[in-house]
Amino acid sequence: MAAQLPSIQDSPPSHKELFYNGQWHAPLSKEYRETFNPGNGSVIDQVAQAGARDVDAAVEAAHQAFAGWRSTPPAQRAAYLRKAADVIRQHAEQLALLDALNTGNPVAEMLSDAKVAAANLDYFAGLTPMVRGETIPQSDDSFHYTLREPLGVVARIIAFNHPAMFAGAKMAALLAAGNTVIIKPPDQAPLSCLRLAEILSDVFPPGVLNILPEGVECGKALSTHPLVSKVTLIGSVPTGKAIQRAAADTLKPTLCEYRQTGQGVARGMNFTWAGQSCGSTSRVFLHESHHDEVLRRVRDYVRTHFKPGVPTDPSTTMGPVISKAVQERVLSYIESAKQEGAELLLGGKAPTGIPEIEGGYFVEPTIFANVQPHMRIAREEIFGPVMSVFKWTDEDEVIRQVNDTRYGLTAAIYTQSMATAHRTVPKIETGFIWVNQVGNHFLGIPFGGFKESGSGRRSVWTSCCRLRRRSVSMLACGDAADMQR
C-alpha cells in the first residue's frame, strides 16, 4: 500500500480559500488561520476563514442554484453523484494522506474513509428515483397524495475526526434528494475538505456544492441564516444544543448514532484514532464470571496492536489527539480517575522516548479497571484513548448503569445467547446497537443517537426532504378527476 500513496508535498490543496458558486473566493474578512499537524505540532498552512458576509454570499449562491438542481431529473442527478464518487475514488489515497496529516489519524485506516464517501454517493445515486410520495385512499370523490420535496439550502457542519468521509458521504443523500449543500469543515482539519472542493469543482453545477472553511463563527452564521432550510451537525453535545437554540429563531429542523469479545472490546474503543470517534464503546461492562479473563485479553490486545506513531506512515497503528488542549484535557481525566480510585491497567500518560513523534499530541492507549459509576471518566465524554471497565453481577443493575448517562449513541452486546441479545436490546437506551460485533457501519442503515447524542436519525429521505400533503377534491377540479382515471 505504501507504493500507492502520493507524496505529502503533492497532496495539500492548492486553494486555501472559500469555494462557492463554482469558484474560489478570497474571504471578505481577509482572515486566514494556521492549521496544524497534530502528529508533530508543526504548522502545515494558512487557511481562509469565512465570516458572516462570506456566508451570505455562499448561501445566496446555493439558494440560486436550488431551483435548477431540484428540477434536474433524478437520473441526471444520479449521474452527477456517480461522477463525484468516481473522482473521490481516484483521489482516495491523497484524501487519506491529507486527513492523516491534519487530524493525526493513521493513514492506513483513513484510506477506507474516501471509499466510504464514494460508496455513499453511488448508493444514493441509485436511490434518486425513490424520492417518492404515496397515494392515500379516502372516499370515492377525493384523491390524496404526498410528495417528497427537497428542503432547499442545507448546511452540514462537521467534526474533526473523519473530515473527508463526513463531508463526502453525508452530502450524498442531501444532493440526491435535490438540496444544495454548504459544508463547513472542522476548524482543526480543513485540508481534505478543501481538496474535495478542488476535485469536485467541475463535477456539480455552480452553487450546488459549496465548502466554507472556518470555525465557530461561520457555523453560527449558517445556523441563523434565513435562507438555510436545515442545519445538520456531526459534533459535540454542547454544539448541538447551541445550534438548536440558534436555529430555533428561523424554525429550522436540525439533525443532531473470551477472544472475540476481548478483540471486540479493544476495537470498539477506536484507539487507532486515539478514541476520537463518536461511536467508541468507552465504557465496558464485564460480568464477574469472565471479567478477569476478558480484561487480560483486552489489555494484551491493546498493548500489542496500538502503538503511537507518525500518522502519515502506513505502518502506524495509533495517532495523536487533535490538539494540545485536547491532550491536556484527556490527561486531566486520567488524573481524575487515579485520584478517584480507578485501577490503571495500561497507559495513563503521554508517550516518551519515541523521537519521531516528539512534539505531537499523543496519549498512550489507557485502560482503567474497577471504575465506579460516580467517577468522572464514567460520566463524561472524554473523546480520547481512555477505556473504563466495570464489573457486574446483576442484569437489571448493569442495564441501569449502562443507561445512567446523558449520552446514547452506540452500544455493543457480546453474548452466546440470541435470547439474551433480543431481551437486552430494547432495554438499552442508544440509537445504534451492535450484537457480537462492533464499529461496523452499513450503507443505508440509519445511524444516530438517543438522549443528548442526537436528535433525528440519519435515514434516507426523512432527513433530506419535507413531506407535502396534497388533497384534491374531484368534485371541485376536473383535472384531478382526469388524474385518477
Give the active site residues: 257, 278
From the list 153-161, 312-320, 371-379, 477-485, the region that binds ligand NAD by CB under 6 A is: 153-161
Per CB under 6 A, the list member of 21, 35, 161, 232 interacting with ligand NAD is 161
Q: Rounded CA gap, 267 and 254, in Å?
A: 31
163 is a site residue for ligand NAD (CB under 6 A):
no
Rg (C-alpha) for the chain, rounded Å, is 24
239 is a site residue for ligand NAD (CB under 6 A):
yes
Helix (H, G, I), strand (E, B) or coil at 200: coil
Least distance CB 184 / ligand NAD (angstroms) = 6
Q: Rounded CA gap, 308 and 318, in Å?
A: 5
Residue nearest to ligand NAD (CB): 219
Closer by beta carbon to ligand NAD, 308 or else 449 = 449
- In terms of DSSP bridges, do strands 254-255 and 366-369 run parallel, antiparallel, or are they unpaired? unpaired
383 is a site residue for ligand NAD (CB under 6 A):
yes
176 is a site residue for ligand NAD (CB under 6 A):
no
Q: What is the DSSP string of 15-49?
A: --SEEETTEEE--TT--EEEEEETTTTEEEEEEE-
- In terms of DSSP bridges, do strands 386-392 and 366-369 run parallel, antiparallel, or are they unpaired? parallel
119 is a site residue for ligand NAD (CB under 6 A):
no
Closer by beta carbon to ligand NAD, 131 or else 218 = 218
Per CB under 6 A, the list member of 99, 109, 257, 452 interacting with ligand NAD is 257
219 is a site residue for ligand NAD (CB under 6 A):
yes
Per CB under 6 A, the list member of 133, 206, 215, 446 interacting with ligand NAD is 215
C-beta pairs of 467-472 under 8 Å, 24+ apart in sequence = 467/133, 467/146, 467/147, 467/148, 468/133, 468/146, 468/147, 468/148, 468/149, 469/144, 469/146, 470/144, 470/145, 470/146, 470/147, 471/142, 471/143, 471/144, 472/142, 472/143, 472/144, 472/145
340 is a site residue for ligand NAD (CB under 6 A):
no
Closer by beta carbon to ligand NAD, 224 or else 312 = 224
311 is a site residue for ligand NAD (CB under 6 A):
no
Per CB under 6 A, the list member of 157, 269, 342, 389 interacting with ligand NAD is 157
| Rounded to 5°, angle at Cα 114 from 303 and 27 | 110
83 is a site residue for ligand NAD (CB under 6 A):
no
Per CB under 6 A, the list member of 48, 243, 321, 331 interacting with ligand NAD is 243
220 is a site residue for ligand NAD (CB under 6 A):
yes
Of 336, 55, 30, which Cα lies nearest the Cα of 216?
Answer: 55
Backbone dihedral angles phi then psi of residue 333, each to the nearest 5 degrees: -65, -40
| Rounded to 5°, angle at Cα 330 from 325 and 332 | 95
How many of the chain's residues bind ligand NAD (CB under 6 A)? Answer: 28
Beta bridge partners of 369: 343
Of 378, 374, 382, which Cα lies nearest the Cα of 278?
Answer: 382
Beta bridge partners of 42: 37
From the list 237-245, 266-274, 422-430, 470-478, the region that binds ligand NAD by CB under 6 A is: 237-245
152 is a site residue for ligand NAD (CB under 6 A):
no
Per CB under 6 A, the list member of 100, 125, 158, 177 interacting with ligand NAD is 158
Grid cell listed for 353:
522516548
Q: Rounded CA gap, 160 and 184, in Å?
A: 11
Which residues inside 398-417 make contact with ligand NAD, applying CB under 6 A? 409
Q: Which residues contact 278 (CB under 8 A, 6 or more apart)?
A: 159, 161, 234, 257, 409, 410, 453
Residue with cell 502519515: 312
225 is a site residue for ligand NAD (CB under 6 A):
no
324 is a site residue for ligand NAD (CB under 6 A):
no
51 is a site residue for ligand NAD (CB under 6 A):
no
236 is a site residue for ligand NAD (CB under 6 A):
yes
Closer by beta carbon to ligand NAD, 13 or else 454 = 454
247 is a site residue for ligand NAD (CB under 6 A):
no
Closer by beta carbon to ligand NAD, 115 or else 162 = 162
Which residues inside 412-451 make contact with ligand NAD, applying CB under 6 A? 449
Residues that bind ligand NAD (CB under 6 A): 157-161, 184, 186-187, 215-216, 219-220, 223, 233-236, 239, 242-243, 257, 278, 381, 383, 409, 449, 453-454
